[in-house]
Amino acid sequence: MASKLLRAVILGPPGSGKGTVCQRIAESFGLQHLSSGHFLRENIKTDTELGILAKQYIQQGLLIPDHVITRLMMSELESRRVQPWLLDGFPRTITQAEALDKICQPDLVISLNIPFETLKDRLSRRWIHPPSGRVYNMEFNPPQVQGVDDVTGEPLIQQEEDKPEAVAAKLRQYKEVAKPVIELYKTRGILHSFSGTETNKIWPYVYSLFSSKMASIGAKEA
């Protein structure tokens, strides 16, 4: 069902349900879901040059700079020039958006607007089992016994970055950095914003938008 012409971007703060929405779009419309987080983890795991560089920033508790993420994503996108895709987690900054333009301008950009309190709640309910990487959410998928991993019975921890005050700082930072990216795509007339507190209620509108976009691309190609 995919068109080789459709390239889309999904924007949204941490905890906005971006991953879930991307997965559904990819399954429904045949676009490749390209997640910057996934590529970053793969590069770190396989000790590539970029992976080693990114790991150094992470170990120092620093944000991975634009040029590292951009190089990583440019290399992935270069190899997919003739494929339909959906970008998740990139571009996050105006510098990244400008770099993306040099390869391909997106046809469609979705921005997920989730209330601050909802995001704070979702993110601060995350607990993890560090040895396995298993993640629990006290609302969506709580452990069978509070504070304990289902498989091993070992204690769960809440990471510093998931504590309410850290979450609030992370969300403020996202908003500040994302604003010029959102403005850029709004000016081009390709930004579509969806607001709500539940992914399942936002999804039908996203589905409808992609369906009509696919239909119009199909008509142009016919």
State the alpha helices, DSSP H only, in 30-163. 36-45, 49-59, 66-78, 94-103, 116-124
Q: How far apart are CA 137 and CA 150, in angstroms?
A: 13
Q: Which residues are annotated as a binding site?
A: 15-20, 36, 41, 89-92, 96, 126, 135-136, 199
| 3-class DSSP assignment, residue 58 | helix
End-to-end distance of the chain based on CA atoms, in angstroms? Answer: 14
Q: Which residues are annotated as a binding site for AMP?
A: 36, 41, 89-92, 96
Which residue type does 63 have?
L
Q: Which residues are annotated as a binding site for a ribonucleoside 5'-triphosphate?
A: 15-20, 126, 135-136, 199
Contact indicator for 123, 15 with CB cutoff of 8 Å: yes
Q: How far apart are CA 127 and CA 135, in angstroms?
A: 6
Of the candidates 95, 45, 46, 47, the one whose C-alpha atom is nearest the C-alpha of residue 73 is 95
Burial 80-105 (b: 16+ CB within 10 A, else e): eeeebbbbbbbbbbbbbbebbeeeee
